[in-house]
Amino acid sequence: MRVSEVVRCKDFPCSDVRPDCYQVPDIEISPEDVSIVLISEAAPTDPADYYYAPADPPFQQTTVEAFRDAGADVSSVQDILGLGVYMSSAVKCGKTTYGIKTGTIKQCSLLLEQELALFPRVKALLLMGDVAIRALNYVAQRAARPESSPLVPPTRSGEKSTTFARRGPSPPISRRVPASSSRRPSAG
């Protein structure tokens, strides 16, 4: 299956992103082999920098480095795909400014929802930043209304179940100090 042949933005309604940088992974992939989905913030402004672009673009370099730092024996995006990890972005177009408007994230979450529904055996989602988290929260909100979500499979009777909503993202949490931080106890 080619994800780019299934997931498509038809009218590009968002004004704060660059539709000329639109990226949905154009790779051949077996949905049953995917157990982890990594979701970054937005597609790069240069399509040659995307995860699956030829050569050694920045998205590939930083992702391979992160997986190596985590102990994975990988040297390419193909190696990461071989681990059952599919990579995509929450917003499918390149950014025009530092931030992304809420409406854009919500609109693109519809595409993300279609994309995630293609992978029935996913056990973990790696959300790389606030935009990815917010997009998945929109997906989960729709999944809580089973009639509106392709992620919620029908039950044996043909009705939609809300099982996914219970497994969805946690509510927002306050920022934590990493365990490796050199935080000193307060005197007193």
The CA-based dihedral angle spanning residues 88, 2, 139, 57, taken in that order and rounded to the nearest 10 degrees: 10
Cα-flanking dihedrals φ and ψ of residue 67, to 5°? -65, -40
Q: In this predicted structure, what is the pLDDT of residue 147?
A: 57
**pLDDT at residue number 180:** 43
Strand order of the β-sheet with 36-43 is 17-18, 85-95, 36-43, 124-127
As a whole number of angstroms, the distance between CA 29 and CA 88 comes to 13
Return the structure tokens found at 183.
Answer: 């935080």
Give the pLDDT score at 91. 97
User: Cα(25)–Cα(87) distance, rounded to whole angstroms?
Assistant: 8
Q: Which pTM value belongs to this model?
A: 0.76
Asked if 89 and 129 touch (Cβ cutoff 8 Å), the reply is no
pLDDT of residue 150: 52
Residue 60: CB partners within 8 Å, gap ≥ 6? 51, 53, 76, 77
Amino acid 170: pLDDT: 44
Q: How many C-alpha atoms does 145 have within 13 Å on its Cβ side?
A: 6
Q: How far apart are CA 103 and CA 18, in angstroms?
A: 15
Block means of pLDDT (10 residues each) for the chain, length 188 residues?
93 92 92 96 91 88 95 95 96 92 96 96 95 96 70 50 39 40 44
Neighbours of 115 (CB within 10 A): 23
Kindly list the distances between the CA atom of residue 111 and the CA atoms of 53, 73, 106, 114, 156, in Å, as whole numbers in the listed order. Answer: 21, 31, 10, 5, 27
Which amino acid appears at position 39 of this protein? I
Which pLDDT score, from 0 to 100, does residue 18 have? 93
Domains and CATH numbers, the chain: 3-167 (3.40.470)
Per-residue pLDDT, 174 = 36
Q: 184, exposed or middle or buried, with CB in 10 Å at 0-12, 13-18, 19+?
A: exposed
Q: pLDDT at position 168, please?
A: 41
Q: Which residues contact residue 163 at a Cβ distance below 8 angstroms, ignoring those fewer than 6 apart?
A: 152, 153
